[in-house]
Structure 1
Amino acid sequence: MKKASWKGKVIAESDKTVEVEGDFYFPPTSIHQEYFEKSDETSMSPSKGKASYYNIVVDGEKNEAAAWYYAHPKSEAKDIKNYVAFKKGVEIE
């Protein structure tokens, strides 16, 4: 079972994560929605496609664009469609 946490709160947990290029991607149903808000930020990955981001908000503190996902990944990344990965101090254990 993998858990993602920030500021002492578990924001996602699953035993069905997928590891890609050193990042753990959590199924969309495994994230605790109350800690996530959509971000306007996007980026491009040559191998995965366009990433969209979430801000993580815990106890009024915002971690901007700390989570990302691929709504329409390239075919070689189809296994992580809508799965969520983390950066910016989010701990994975």
Structure 2
Amino acid sequence: MKAIWNGVVIAESADTVVVDGDHYFPAESLKKEYLSFSNHRSSSWKGQAHYQSLFVNGEFNPDSVWSYPEPTEQAAELKGRVAFWKGVQVVD
């Protein structure tokens, strides 16, 4: 699977976990040179999501990457993984 935004592959892995329709990539598959800080947080049954933003080819995509640093017991498989939204395409 590949995560693509603004014409650039920002993550790629054959090892994704699908939860609630979202592909969660191993955090180490994410190209960190495209990440930017965000202090946005949200909560769900999976725990508290921490967000990061993307900066690719001069364009900014706020809060488009998220992870669960301390997932709930029911979502333990998401620890160490990241997911995407806000126009980030996930393709096979």
Give the root-mean-square deviation of aligned CA atoms.
0.7
Equivalent of residue 57 in structure 2, options 56, 59, 73: 59
Mapping 1:13-52, distance limit 5 Å? 13-45=12-44, 47-52=45-50
CA-CA distance at 1:59 after TM superposition: 1.3
Question: What is the aligned partner in structure 2 of residue 8 from structure 1?
Answer: 7
CA-CA distance at 1:60 after TM superposition: 1.7
Number of positions where the alignment pairs a residue of Structure 1 with one of Structure 2? 91
SS for the counterpart of 1:88 is: coil
Q: Which amino acid aligns with 1:77?
A: A
CA-CA distance at 1:82 after TM superposition: 2.6
Deviations 1:30-88 (A, max 9, x none): 0000011221000001x101000010110121100001000000011111113110000
Taking structure 1 as the reference length, the TM-score comes to 0.95
Aligned counterparts of 1:71 and 1:21: Cα–Cα separation in 2: 18
Taking structure 2 as the reference length, the TM-score comes to 0.96
Q: Which moved more, 1:15-24 or 1:75-84?
A: 75-84
Give % identity.
Answer: 46
Which segments of 5 or more consecutive residues in structure 1 lack a partner in the other structure?
none
Aligned counterparts of 1:16 and 1:10: Cα–Cα separation in 2: 16
